[in-house]
Amino acid sequence: MLTKTPEQTFFVIDFDSTFTKVEALDVLGEISLVGRPDRDDALNQIKTITDRGMAGELSFTESLELRLKLLRAHRDQLPALIEALMGKISDSFQRNREFLVENAEHIYIVSNGFREFIVPVVASLGIKADHVLANTFVYDEAGNIVDFDRSNPLSANGGKPQVIRGLALDGDVYVIGDGYTDYEIRESGAAARFYAFTENVLRPRVVEKADFTAPSLDEFLYHNNLSRSQSYPKSRIKVLLLENVHPVAVQLFEQEGFNVEIRKGALDEDELIEAIRDVSILGIRSKTNVTARVLEHANKLMTIGAFCIGTNQIDLTACTERGVAVFNAPYSNTRSVVELAIGEIIMLIRGIVPKSNSMHKGEWDKSAKNSYEVRGKKLGLVGYGNIGTQLSVVAEALGMEVYFYDIVDKLALGNTRKCKTLDELLAVSDIISLHTDGRKENKNLIGEREFGLMKQGVIFLNLSRGHIVDIPALVNAIKQGKVIGTGVDVFPEEPKTNNEEFISALRDLPNVILTPHIGGSTEEAQANIGNFVPAKLLEYINNGSTYGSVNFPELQLPLLKNSHRLLHIHANVPGILAKMNNIFAKYHINIHGQYLKTNEQIGYVITDVAKEYADEVVQELKGIDNTIKFRLLY
């Protein structure tokens, strides 16, 4: 892409909002105005003036004069400014330190800012002090910053083109910057190209004028085929997040430099087919169905994050066949469900709901009858997975005796006792709480026969899945006094929206707490999910790890160091690994590590190799029969 060789090309980089994420004088204001009563007002004014200047609406000298006056800064505040700016170096610059160091002879920083703080900050990434073209402050005797060097061309409009021309660089000059003054270098003919840098701020007027837009330094390097930290710039990887996923997830993907699109609602099949074409990472919740038909149109899709527990809405088999790894948040809301269960158990065993209802009708019924402590009571858990185990720990802390039954042999935590059969558990428990998964064999797991086996006056909770309980049998058991307290959060038929009526035979029965499937719905759980799922997706994208995937063979991979990582996903047929290794042998590839895992459908082979190898290796690996997807990381 470079019109000249790298040796003949010079890179001119802006400082404020390009090399760093921030405008340095804004940061200086935050330091110098500490404790001043007009601080917020002055900071706002500084920001407005900066933006107007950057957008070309204000003469530069004028804007600088106004800002310095408002700043009232001192020489002694510069070390704090430098330290703050060090922590604000743009992510993609930090990632590409190697490029900056290796090409230091060809890199210039040009800024209308000040050498006093720019030099130490850019030097930390290898930029040479004499390649920093910037202004200098003027101080009074007491060290106050009172003016700037007015003889420096960078103190006035048109300064940047002038100083670049003054360098008389023997080669093409490419400018990278976010502001109008950076574009002016190109406009004046002093540069061959201008890249509008939008990682930190996007100024439409500047982007409009640019030859190219660079959402990150990686993108610039990729565009020019220069060595970079990312094999493929993340700004080219599109993330589509549907159904209002938590803002923390959006932030995590944006921080990584991905191109993120968010939509509030779910999409139907046709809408999703339209939206998914360029998407590499899809984030959904429970209302978007990812069908085989959708996947046929998702040629770039690498991974799906279900920002919820269930993955029934996703055709997992079709995902696996297409090499799309799916992740969910299996225990982000576990604690929320447990806390609700504990709360309900206590409310029910004390008969609080009818008492509260009577009070609202003006009735005062002070009595201890049929009101018990939970301490010493036998809690029976059907299903001892994430929620069951966590609930057992909290219930034991309250002094309950916990029993559980699970179809899988599970380790009993604490003093919990394992029951050999469901019947045994039902017979022994004072309180029964269901926490099995929703597999179809569990339909009506608890019906008339099971209620028959329970103790008279049992407390019964279902916060798992609606179809697990036969509702008419439960209603019967309540009416007959077998069950004296009931908590139900999930129902065989649930309203699709908040506007639909909730219809159920469980309405208007005594000592029954009904909740609208909110067992896991807390702010904390949403934030947990918002953090957990992106972390899994990013591990997969950045490192290849599939630990926690619901459809891929699970591999936890070491961090990639001094190698290139070749990720090969293929149909699980015999002989693929041998074919891959034959290719490595043929090209004398030095293998640093190799990892393989298969499931019924696919095999996943990761090979870390020395950085130098022929391009044909990749082509041949991609060409192996039954290859589904191939990816290269470095």
Ligand X SMILES: NC(=O)c1ccc[n+]([C@@H]2O[C@H](COP(=O)([O-])OP(=O)(O)OC[C@H]3O[C@@H](n4cnc5c(N)ncnc54)[C@H](O)[C@@H]3O)[C@@H](O)[C@H]2O)c1
Q: Which residue is nearest to ligand X (CB)?
A: 385
CB contact at 8 A, 111 and 101: no
Q: Which helix (H) or strand (E) holds 567?
A: strand 564-571
Out of 465, 564, 565, 570, which one is annotated catalytic?
465
Q: At its nearest, how many Å lie between ligand X and the CB of residue 383?
A: 3
Taking every pair of C-alpha atoms in the chain, what is the biggest distance, in angstroms?
96
- Write down the residue that tokens 């219930």 correspond to: 395
Out of 75, 293, 417, 517, which one is annotated catalytic?
517
CB contact at 8 A, 57 and 152: no
Tokens of 391: 């609930």
Out of 494, 524, 554, 616, which one is annotated catalytic?
494
Quote the CA–CA distance of 441 and 593 in Å, as a whole number: 43
Q: At its nearest, how many Å lie between ligand X and the CB of residue 436?
A: 4
CB contact at 8 A, 11 and 128: no
Q: At its nearest, how many Å lie between ligand X and the CB of residue 451?
A: 16
The smaller minimum CB distance to ligand X, of residues 10 and 460, is found at 460
The smaller minimum CB distance to ligand X, of residues 198 and 436, is found at 436
Beta-strand ranges (E) seen in 205-276 are 212-214, 238-241, 259-262
A 10 A CB-CB count for 243 gives 18
CB contact at 8 A, 301 and 506: no
Q: At its nearest, how many Å lie between ligand X and the CB of residue 505?
A: 20
Q: At its nearest, how many Å lie between ligand X and the CB of residue 244?
A: 17
CB contact at 8 A, 284 and 260: no
Distances, alpha carbon 623 to alpha carbons 487, 575, 600, 616, in Å: 57, 14, 22, 10
Q: Does the annotation mark 517 as catalytic? A: yes
The smaller minimum CB distance to ligand X, of residues 145 and 395, is found at 395
The smaller minimum CB distance to ligand X, of residues 98 and 554, is found at 554
Q: What own/partner pairs with CB < 8 Å and gap ≥ 24 does 289-293 have? A: 289/313, 289/314, 290/314, 290/315, 290/319, 291/315, 291/318, 292/318, 293/269
Quote the CA–CA distance of 617 and 61 in Å, as a whole number: 57
The smaller minimum CB distance to ligand X, of residues 126 and 310, is found at 310
The smaller minimum CB distance to ligand X, of residues 179 and 383, is found at 383
The smaller minimum CB distance to ligand X, of residues 195 and 404, is found at 404
Q: At its nearest, how many Å lie between ligand X and the CB of residue 304?
A: 19
Q: Does the annotation mark 465 as catalytic? A: yes
Which positions touch ligand X (CB under 6 A)?
Answer: 309, 330-331, 333-334, 337, 382-388, 405-408, 435-438, 442, 445, 463-465, 489-490, 517, 519-520
Distances, alpha carbon 459 to alpha carbons 63, 346, 347, 353, 456, in Å: 72, 10, 11, 13, 9
Q: At its nearest, how many Å lie between ligand X and the CB of residue 457?
A: 24
Catalytic residues: 465, 494, 517
